[in-house]
Chains A and B, each alone.
Chain A
């Protein structure tokens, strides 16, 4: 990996949901411009529109994806900084072959843990990352982990129930 300062990188290598992408740096269509956020690249270049952009200001949490195990705001992350990273988006949670939902996704379905659903992918990714790190998280921890996620419909109560249901299953 070349990290030398001042040297321009010609391509950005990303793994998204297990698929490797080699993206050219540039300003033409299908290239990654230095100004592109990861949210932009996922949605516009890779057509993974499951990641939502609510505010584009890093304040609503809806663009959350998992990067190397950590939940990050993809609207506040430049794609050119993501070389060599492994990213999981909402499209990457269900089992690829069977289509079987992740237990957390299933819990969201079972609890109707959404209203308009726009904030849901971000909340699921943040919860997924939390449960991966702390499978038996308690309600307080879940609320803290989701405190940066905006939901105007007030799905919060059902979301916490859903995450707790998934947490129990994984213990």
Chain B
């Protein structure tokens, strides 16, 4: 079917491109209120301790210090799931946990003030392993969570998924031809590490009205989520350009608490902008994930049973970990079609910096822990993994239980074609030599290939609202709470509206992300921007156009159904000479407005398959990623370079490289993070780029007018398992540990001792 779109599917410059390449784009640290204090945090040197005594007198007396706050005098706000973390506590639970806050006129005064706060700690034993944390007598992080087991929480309503139980797993295992079992972890708790640290500026307009500036991914979270944690003040959340997020900056509850608490006592705007140390050591890490269980399959790859316990280490507290468990449980069902499930979950606290929201959101962590068992059972059955994934990924008509506990029937697409196209482009048939067989051998260098898949039914999750204003000058203004954290969605949504309204792209604008001027939007989480936010904006544009045509009817003497518009003029479809400008139709003192909404829909999962070729030197243990290929189906491409950027993102934000070199290393004697800087925390440089190719299909999806779905989030998730598989095939032995550092590879090969 030919698509004659004016903008969609064509590369158009990002609407913020000029600002970005000239340095004019304003990020949070570029915002300069007339009067502003700096907020800084005193942090604990101990992983677990109680504050016995704290004296702030000397700090308060220092010139330039406007406020010092401790657990004794902070506002009674709480965050977490359930709400259990105060702004500051008498107890510290990880090295880097907040002890006191200062607001000062200069950063130098802040550093001086932090030095002058005297704290006496009573040190307590700490626990770093999640199963050790469950044992009787283990150090207890929160009184509210006996045995360090975080309570269940109805994050998505009363039926929120905490497990997957269906069918009869015992019978399923009886029916299986092959069973694999074991305990495997994805516990390197890597850091998504956007280049820009998180930051918040807070200013109280009066006792009940708080204005918050921040670089966040989801513009409205700092209003609607934080209100409930702070006694429901009227929060105006304004989002600046965001220097990368990958989930982690959907919001920043602690930064906001600190800035708002200090702003409250000083009466002046306060900025809390983390240093890179704090970004590494006191913001958010991936979940620690460990799966103990078994999977049974038949010879033909039919999965007969999945059973086991998924243990999740959330670190010092749970922000949204229960939500991630729910989504992870959903995503596992998309990946593995099975009649019989008994997957239980546990969320456990340990003495390290907390886990938070990160691209992959539970699914990446669960699937990466399942990968070694899946690889083992596929190898036993001698199944080609591409064929196995093709057989078991959710297809139209298949049913699954999604995060909120409801049954959904897939009405999306069969992704077999995307898998086949990807395999063909990668040369899978030639490169795949069978399990634990290298593709090629050149002395000590072994080439191996692997593959992983991932999908999410979140492309239509949650609700969105948008207004659109048609202006008499032939322009349109979209009112929607949409941030720009790198996805290009502000521009892409303008493209969708421009397509509906047939306006030049430069005549379609979007209001700044500011909750005072925009209606509700859940935000750019998961991959919902294209379908969910897009639906609301398309709906608003169509609604406005309908009203415009009705307004024009008497003036043109025609039925609205006969009308079309292009470039700010309205004409009769069959008689284009009968034409009227928007300016005349609307009148310069008027505006036409439209409203659109999206209601949550979990019936159209997205999908990505990732192929990887690695080279392992069995002499040195060095692993090199040589080639990556992703394949997906997006229905309709909105903007080719933005889409490719999201797919290239497989390498970033604690994705594929969590199997290669990315890890947060915590010393289990002291609780200190050993690699919390950008030299010791390894990242991929330009010089280390593998060859990277994307295969993108466009089969229309039953979503909105443009038949598109989003895939932005999913690129990072299939990589880690695919790399394990590729490296295992290269060296001829199943490798299980993330990341596959040279040492781990040599250990697995028996060449060095542990």
Contact = CB atoms under 8 A, between A and B. Distances in A.
Interface of A: 43, 47-57, 59-60, 62, 89-91, 93-94, 101, 105-106, 108-112, 114-121, 124, 142-144, 146-160
A157 B21 contact: no
B529 interface: no
Interface stretch (B150-158, B643-651, B720-728): B643-651
B600 interface: no
B22 A105 contact: yes
B281 to A, nearest CB: 13
A57 B276 contact: yes
Nearest to B639: A112
Contact of A147 (B11, B244, B686): B686
A24 B29 CA distance: 25
B635 interface: no
A140 to B, nearest CB: 9
Contact of B195 (A62, A109, A146): A62
B244 A112 contact: no
Contacts of A149: 685-686
Contact of A157 (B13, B23, B683, B689): B689
Contacts of A150: 195, 678, 683, 685
A91 B23 contact: yes
A116 B242 contact: yes
A154 B194 contact: no
B678 A105 contact: no
B488 interface: yes
* Chain B contact patch, size range: 35 or more
A157 to B, nearest CB: 6
B208 interface: no
Contacts of A114: 14, 17, 20-21, 486
A116 B194 contact: yes
A59 B244 contact: no
A154 B648 contact: yes
A109 B276 contact: no
A118 B21 contact: no
Interface string B619-651: 000000000000000000001011011001111
Given A109-B13, A112-B642, A117 B652 contact: no
Contacts of A59: 677-679
Given A109-B13, A115-B244, A124 B21 contact: yes
A117 B677 contact: no
Given A55-B678, A116-B485, A152 B242 contact: no
Contact of A158 (B192, B243, B641, B650): B641
Contact of B677 (A49, A55, A90, A146): A55
A158 B194 CA distance: 18
Nearest to B244: A116
Given A108-B21, A117-B19, 20 more contacts: A48-B23, A49-B29, A49-B30, A50-B23, A50-B24, A52-B196, A55-B195, A59-B679, A101-B21, A108-B17, A112-B17, A115-B487, A115-B645, A116-B243, A116-B244, A148-B685, A150-B678, A152-B193, A153-B653, A157-B648
